[in-house]
Structure 1
Amino acid sequence: MNDVMKAPGVRAGLAEAGEQRLGWIRSRMRSLAAIRTEFAESRPFDGLTIGVALHSEPKTAVLLETLAAGGAHVVGTGNHGSTQDDIVAALERNGIELFGHRDETLDEHRRNLERTIDRKPDILLDNGADLAAIVADRGLADTIVGGTEETTSGGFRLREEYAGRIPFPVIVINDSPLKAIAENRHAVGQSAVESFMRITNLQVPGRRFAVAGYGWCGRGVAQYLRALGGKVAVVEVDELKAFEAAFDGYRVGSLGELAGWADVVITATGRPGVVTEKVFDLFEDGVVLANIGHFPWEIDVPALRSHAVRSTTVATAIEELELPSGRRVVLLADGRMYNLAGTAPKGNSIESMDLGFTLQARSLERVATGTDSLVAGPQRVPDDIERAVARQTLALLNSAD
């Protein structure tokens, strides 16, 4: 963090601004509000440190406040490019320590992840398996009671790259059907389309979109684009998901087949190397590339920039790259998750995150108080938690009728 950001007057101003924003968010996260009251009495995290790697934005802040109310010492960092400085400053007032700032470099972000582990957390609240990877690589896994993982990308890493190296239970929140439906399909779908329009000021109706990935997030992005009049095609390597996309009425093809057709390509796979230099010369002039997946690895940005003969920042979060052929490629938010790293980031809807973070809070409570009921390694949210959260959410929905 630079010296200006550290100045007491600047920090106080940021904290005030963050607190004003948090007031509105808290008022709409009714499920977490009920849990916060409960946790203040039951104190499931007394004496425990929770290490966090999660987007530092207002809805996340409400979750962290809920954990702190339950007795947790919360310390951690945001994700690269999505930290909101006013929210970090507001949380500092409540004893929650988050490292990092909006404009930090990738190296600074990695150091902040290391700093989080250096605080010797008992429980991990992870996003992309970044903290679990450090714990495994440094031989510290035996010091961890358990944790949660928020994303599909992190679930892949735990089950593939770090298979057999995580001896503690990790509840993968993104395996939850509740989260898949409410947050991944509907909230990411809505957020991806809204953020595309806000960042680019381009219309959706009549524009041709290729959505790479037809998991829950890809389904949602395709659905909401089509609902607003977009012409949508799907790129999917899994035959069954491609079959589903075709029967849902979408054109289905490889990226090579669709590159020359698409006005916009949005990646939503959770996997690296989706848009590579193999297709750069197939794109039409002016194509927009955007990523909604957790890691900025789905679009090979370094290769794209090295392939370009000229790069121009034309607006905040919009970079135009000219290829040797003279055609232009427009990149949003450096290939990062553009609904959180783009202009005036909002992320997913408040209500969807209330549900997702309720699953988080209950899963972390289970890790803290009932590890005997869990197994080592990545696993889905326990069924009784799923059903209790479903009942609670339905009750809240019905109370609004």
Structure 2
Amino acid sequence: MTDATSDLISTGAARIEWIRSRMPLLAQARADLARTLPFSGRRIGMSLHLEPKTAVLLETLQAGGAEIVATGNHGSTQDDIVAVLRDRGMTVFGARSDTLEQHHDNINAVLDSAPDLLLDNGGDLAAGIVDRGMTSGIIGGTEETTSGGDRLRSELAGAVPFPVIVINDSMLKAIGENRHAVGQSIVESFMRITNLMVPGRHFVVVGYGWCGRGIAQYLRALGGQVAVVEVDVLKAFEAALDGYRVASVVELAPWADVVITATGRPNVVGGDVFDRLRDGAVLANSGHVAWEIDVAGLKQRAASVSVVDEGIERVAFDDGRHVVLLAEGRMFNLAGRQPKGNSLESMDLGFLLQVLSLEAVATDAAALVPGAQPVPVDIEREIATRFLAALDAAR
């Protein structure tokens, strides 16, 4: 082991230890799984952001007997955490510096291990399984995100013959993680990365799902002036009654100081918007896939592109305007500078949803229907009960 690797392990282990101490729900699950060993003899293939909170999730699954073969998501992998996980006997692929091509190679390496269960984020593993025709060897799995759930119900619909529990369908995750944790972490990350103030600044939040609701709420709570873009008329109606200005992204572009996307859909901010943005506007994406801002189209229009700080690019146009792009259009609370991601408490809750859902698949997959489906109601109620008890114990 090199000195550099030893230093990474030491740094990562200290970070994980702190986070583990603040995740009581997973602590209880680890003790339970160590007794019951529901994953004994099973290999879990994972694609999920590799950061300290995820490490505690993987420790919990390992305590239940699982063999872990994992990779992160593009641009958000934290190298000290990878070093710790490898040191603890897990097979982990990837590094923060990986290109998108290398990330795809990492996905393929996970699939090459022939996993029994999938812990997916964005549908990459499920899509790879279908492309390879490997579906007969999989018991089932989970999917973390809106983006992955959409893929399972559209391009992969009918092609996945095993059950996949979509964690993002859970109201617990929607409220606890998407609204409150994403809302908090996106606003905190914006302030930390840019060092700009929120009060009085014009923010356009594109998408008023659970994440968009939370981002708008926390921006307004800190004094931001917030407008919302939403194509679903009922969600637009809700945003208007919540007190936000509602219009199209093209209409709002000249007003915006900051545009934050939260839709899970490709190219929601593109050419017409770029032409109308005011000088110095900031573009940032909170969605899982780096496609909500048409970054390639933005840079094709540019007279020059320069890196001004870690995770901050200045994109200048021939007409004298410039815009600022955060984290190359990736999920900037995890791919930006000094990434922190969502709060410990929210991920304790969200990852317990993962653990108990994977346990349900591992122990009784026959009771579940093939394809995408929500978290079983009894699991949601059990976790809500545990979370409320943990909140009360912490007071």
TM-score bracket, normalised by the shorter chain, equals over 0.9
Q: Partner of 1:242 in structure 2? A: 236
Q: Structure 2: any 5+ residue segments left out of the alignment?
A: none
2:269 to 248, 252, 275: 275
**1: distance between equivalents of 2:39 and 2:318?**
57
In the TM superposition, what is the alpha-carbon distance from 1:278 to its structure 2 partner? 2.1
SS at match of 1:28: coil
2:369 to 375, 383, 388: 375
Could you list the structure 1 runs, at least 4 aligned residues long, displaced by more than 6 angstroms after superposition: none
In the TM superposition, what is the alpha-carbon distance from 1:13 to its structure 2 partner? 1.4
1:87 and 2:81 correspond: yes
1:348 and 2:339 correspond: no
In the TM superposition, what is the alpha-carbon distance from 1:324 to its structure 2 partner? 2.0
**2: distance between equivalents of 1:283 and 1:261?**
8
**2: distance between equivalents of 1:353 and 1:133?**
25
1:131 and 2:131 correspond: no
Residues 236-290 of structure 1, C-alpha deviations (whole Å, 9 max, x = no match): 0000000000000000000011000000000000111111112211100000000
**2: distance between equivalents of 1:129 and 1:21?**
28
Residues 125-163 of structure 1, C-alpha deviations (whole Å, 9 max, x = no match): 000000000001111111110000000000001101111
**1: distance between equivalents of 2:155 and 2:295?**
23
Structure 1: which amino acid aligns with 2:260?
A: I
Q: Partner of 1:199 in structure 2? A: 193
Q: Partner of 1:112 in structure 2? A: 106
Structure 2: which amino acid aligns with 1:16?
A: S
1:224 to 211, 218, 221: 218
1:287 and 2:281 correspond: yes
In the TM superposition, what is the alpha-carbon distance from 1:372 to its structure 2 partner? 1.9
TM-score of the two chains, using structure 1 as the length reference: 0.98
SS at match of 1:206: coil
**1: distance between equivalents of 2:213 and 2:170?**
16
Q: Partner of 1:76 in structure 2? A: 70
TM-score of the two chains, using structure 2 as the length reference: 0.99
2:351 to 357, 363, 371: 357
Q: Partner of 2:49 in structure 1? A: 55
Q: Structure 1: any 5+ residue segments left out of the alignment?
A: 1-6
**1: distance between equivalents of 2:2 and 2:79?**
14
- Aligned-residue sequence identity (percent) comes to 64
**2: distance between equivalents of 1:120 and 1:10?**
32
2:23 to 8, 18, 29: 29
Residues 12-71 of structure 1, C-alpha deviations (whole Å, 9 max, x = no match): 111111001111000000000010011111000000000000000000000001000100
**1: distance between equivalents of 2:230 and 2:55?**
35
Structure 1: which amino acid aligns with 2:166?
A: V
Residues 318-361 of structure 1, C-alpha deviations (whole Å, 9 max, x = no match): 00001121110100000000000001000000000000000000
1:10 to 4, 16, 22: 4
Give the CA RMSD over aligned residues. Answer: 0.7
Structure 2: which amino acid aligns with 1:128?
A: G
Q: Partner of 2:392 in structure 1? A: 398
In the TM superposition, what is the alpha-carbon distance from 1:81 to its structure 2 partner? 0.4
SS at match of 1:281: helix
Q: Partner of 2:183 in structure 1? A: 189
SS at match of 2:350: helix
Structure 2: which amino acid aligns with 1:124?
A: L
Structure 2: which amino acid aligns with 1:85?
A: D
In the TM superposition, what is the alpha-carbon distance from 1:11 to its structure 2 partner? 1.3
**2: distance between equivalents of 1:60 and 1:161?**
28
2:253 to 259, 267, 276: 259
In the TM superposition, what is the alpha-carbon distance from 1:115 to its structure 2 partner? 0.3
1:160 and 2:154 correspond: yes
SS at match of 2:263: coil
Q: Write out aligned runs for 1:171-190 (5 A).
A: 171-190=165-184
In the TM superposition, what is the alpha-carbon distance from 1:9 to its structure 2 partner? 2.2
**1: distance between equivalents of 2:83 and 2:31?**
23
Structure 1: which amino acid aligns with 2:148?
A: G
Q: Partner of 1:316 in structure 2? A: 310
In the TM superposition, what is the alpha-carbon distance from 1:93 to its structure 2 partner? 1.6
In the TM superposition, what is the alpha-carbon distance from 1:8 to its structure 2 partner? 2.4
**2: distance between equivalents of 1:13 and 1:280?**
43
**2: distance between equivalents of 1:323 and 1:240?**
37
**2: distance between equivalents of 1:93 and 1:321?**
41
